[in-house]
Amino acid sequence: MPTYKNKNMKQITNKTMCVLMRSGIEIWVNQERAEKISNLLGVKNIRFLDIGKETINSADVSGIFSAKTMEDVRRRKNGQWQCDLGTWHQRGEKCVCGELNKYPSYSGVANIKLNKQKVLKKQSN
């Protein structure tokens, strides 16, 4: 599995890749090792590969994927979806991400943005 900053944070700190097998088994390797495996998969005479303590049949490799791709696939399998702004939502949840900047907030931050836009429009006229 990929290495994280700490157990509470899900930010990947090293460049890890997943060798995904047809059976669903995930073998996590660093990027350099993934490139070597990818090159070996292109050689026709190589049938079995040693990855760490595992020996795999090269025909059973579905692909080599980044940790980000694997995370996205896992989220989709669990029913989540990603809106146009890049936020992940639960199945059936309505996205309101784009609506957050439409309404002024009581903190005044949104009001400042709206007032600045009005001033810019007046200056352009």
Q: Are residues 56 and 113 in the same domain?
A: no
* Least-confidence region, from 7-16, 51-60, 93-102: 7-16
What is the model's pLDDT at position 99? 72
Q: Are residues 23 and 8 in the same domain?
A: yes
> Looking at the predicted structure, is the pLDDT value of residue 26 above 60?
yes
Q: Are residues 105 and 45 in the same domain?
A: no
Q: Are residues 63 and 14 in the same domain?
A: yes
Q: Are residues 70 and 115 in the same domain?
A: no
- Which is it for the CA torsion 111, 112, 116, 119, positive or negative? positive
Q: Are residues 16 and 71 in the same domain?
A: yes
Task: Band the pLDDT of 103: cuts 50, 70, 90.
Answer: low
C-alpha 76/C-alpha 71 separation (Å) is: 9
Q: What is the pTM of this model?
A: 0.63
What is the model's pLDDT at position 121? 55
Q: Are residues 29 and 89 in the same domain?
A: no
Instruction: Work out the angle at residue 121's Cα, subtended by the Cα atoms of residues 116 and 125, and round it to the nearest 5 degrees.
Output: 150
Q: Are residues 97 and 71 in the same domain?
A: no
Domain total of the chain? 2
Average pLDDT, whole number, for the chain?
79
Q: Taking residues 15-31, what's their average pLDDT?
A: 93
Looking at the chain, how many residues does it have?
A: 125
Q: Are residues 22 and 33 in the same domain?
A: yes
Q: 56 or 104: whose pLDDT is higher?
A: 56
Helix boundaries (H) for 4-66? 31-41
Task: Band the pLDDT of 125: cuts 50, 70, 90.
Answer: low
- Which is it for the CA torsion 45, 47, 50, 51, positive or negative? positive
Max avg pLDDT among 12-21, 77-86, 105-114: 77-86
Q: Are residues 16 and 47 in the same domain?
A: yes
Q: Are residues 24 and 64 in the same domain?
A: yes
> Looking at the predicted structure, is the pLDDT value of residue 5 above 50?
no
Which domain, by its residues, includes 99? 81-125
Q: Are residues 64 and 12 in the same domain?
A: yes
What is the model's pLDDT at position 110? 47
C-alpha 119/C-alpha 123 separation (Å) is: 6
